[in-house]
């Protein structure tokens, strides 16, 4: 904290003194001037340069800390990832037109965004279950080498009777948190060139 002096001569004039140790020299210099000016009195006032109150400093520091904490909290909230919707469960039977069921891959295609999920079906496996995001899907399967393919079709929904001649894909819904049953991969009389093929795959030549 810096101290300064204020001197008032006999004529009411204010004369500022130099700070700290130079005050004595200033007083002697002023006294000499006053004698020459005919003054015999000199009033000296000591002033203190105002400084910040400790309470004010503490309050400002607390506000700065609180502001930093609020900004950090707001950043954390804005960076939190949006939770993904809860998946649904799809289950069904694996059928095949012989006593032996070969190993195969089952595919589940979201017809809204073309996203494709797949699961491995082991030899002689008769049922399956898969967790999928909510959406509208078609399901199909291929044996190794894409020699034979099957799917969940309108004929499966019809019961695979002789009158069930529509072998086009049957779409089904996957609902968040629910189980969609009886999506049976059982229609295997579809010509291979009429079945969907996974991206990047090709059917064998004739």
Q: What is the pLDDT of residues 114-156, one digit of tens each?
A: 999 999 999 999 999 999 999 999 999 998 888 889 999 999 9
For the chain, give the percent of residues with pLDDT over 70: 63
> In degrees, to the nearest 5, what angle opens at C-alpha 94 toward C-alphas 125 and 140?
125
Statement to judge: residues 10 and 103 lie in one domain = no
- The band of 178, judged by pLDDT with boundaries at 50, 70 and 90, is very high
- The band of 51, judged by pLDDT with boundaries at 50, 70 and 90, is low
Q: What are the helix (H) ranges across 17-172?
A: 23-37, 54-79, 154-158
Please tell me the pTM assigned to this model: 0.60
The confidence score (pLDDT) of residue 117 equals: 97
Statement to judge: residues 10 and 100 lie in one domain = no
Statement to judge: residues 29 and 118 lie in one domain = no
Domain of residue 2, residue span: 1-49
The confidence score (pLDDT) of residue 55 equals: 73
Statement to judge: residues 43 and 92 lie in one domain = no
Tell me the torsion sign for CA atoms 69, 74, 75, 76.
positive
Sheet holding 43-48, edge to edge: 14-16, 3-8, 43-48
Statement to judge: residues 101 and 160 lie in one domain = yes
Two tokens, residue 186 = 């059982």
Condensed to tens digits (0 to 9), the pLDDT of residues 15-38 reads: 554 454 455 555 555 555 555 555
């Amino acid at each position: 904290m810096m101290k300064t002096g204020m001197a008032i001569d006999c004529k009411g004039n204010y004369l500022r003194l130099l700070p700290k140790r130079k005050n004595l020299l200033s007083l002697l210099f002023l006294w000499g001037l006053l004698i020459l000016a005919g003054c015999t009195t000199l009033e000296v006032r000591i002033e203190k340069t105002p400084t910040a109150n400790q309470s004010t400093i503490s309050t400002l520091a607390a506000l700065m800390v609180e502001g930093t904490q609020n900004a950090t909290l707001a950043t954390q909230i804005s960076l939190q990832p949006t939770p993904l919707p809860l998946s649904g469960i799809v289950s069904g039977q694996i059928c095949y037109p012989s006593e032996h069921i070969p190993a195969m891959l089952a595919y589940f295609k979201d017809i809204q965004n073309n996203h494709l999920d797949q699961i491995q079906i082991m030899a002689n496996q008769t049922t399956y279950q898969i967790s999928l995001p909510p959406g509208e899907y078609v399901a199909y399967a291929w044996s190794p080498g894409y020699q034979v393919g099957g799917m969940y079709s309108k004929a499966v929904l019809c019961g695979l009777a002789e009158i069930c001649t529509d072998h086009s894909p049957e779409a089904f819904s996957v609902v968040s948190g629910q189980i969609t049953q009886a999506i049976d991969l059982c229609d295997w009389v579809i010509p291979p060139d009429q079945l969907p093929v996974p991206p990047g795959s090709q059917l064998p030549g004739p």
